[in-house]
Amino acid sequence: MKRIIPFFLCLFLSACASSSEALNKDLAGHYYLQGAMEMGSELLLRDNGNFEAIMAFGSANGYAKGNWTQAGQRLTLHRQASDTASEEDLGQLFDGMVLHIRPNCLAIEEMDGCYIKAPNRQAAE
């Protein structure tokens, strides 16, 4: 009996890991911000859980990289600390940013904006 419990625990954990891994790979890709007035932004989600992002608003801009996590229909960005970032750096806006997973959109409700996934270039070829 003592051997059966660890076996089933391993099966359960591997099933959970494989299902979240498949979902993360579906979300991975290159996104462009739409719907936010006078603001431009791109977001690259990698299937290994890392991200890179840029944002521009007027003459201010910013860059961030770090990792992303998902809990249900919420995707959260966790910015890697940067020694060169200033208070004017818009990259800090990505730290802790929550995106709501919607059909064809990663929504930023605070800005009425939405990151739209770019078409997969390999699929078009």
More confident residue, 23 or 6: 23
* Mean pLDDT (the chain, rounded): 78
Write out pLDDT tens, residues 35-70.
988 899 999 999 999 999 999 988 889 999 999 999
Say which residue, 17 or 78, is predicted with more confidence.
78
CATH of domain 4-124: 2.40.128
Q: Determine the average pLDDT of the residues in 72-96.
A: 83
Rounded to an integer, the average pLDDT of 80-96 is: 77
pLDDT band at 121 (very low <50, low <70, confident <90, very high): low
If pLDDT is split at 50, 70 and 90, which confidence band does 88 have?
A: low
Domain residue ranges in the chain: 4-124
pTM assigned to the model: 0.73
Query: What is the full DSSP assignment across the chain?
Result: -TTHHHHHHHHHHHHHHHHHHHHHHHH-EEEEEES-TTEEEEEEE-TTSEEEEEEEETTEEEEEEEEEEEETTEEEEEEPP-SS--TT-GGGGGTT-EEEEETTEEEEGGGTEEEEEPPPHHHH-
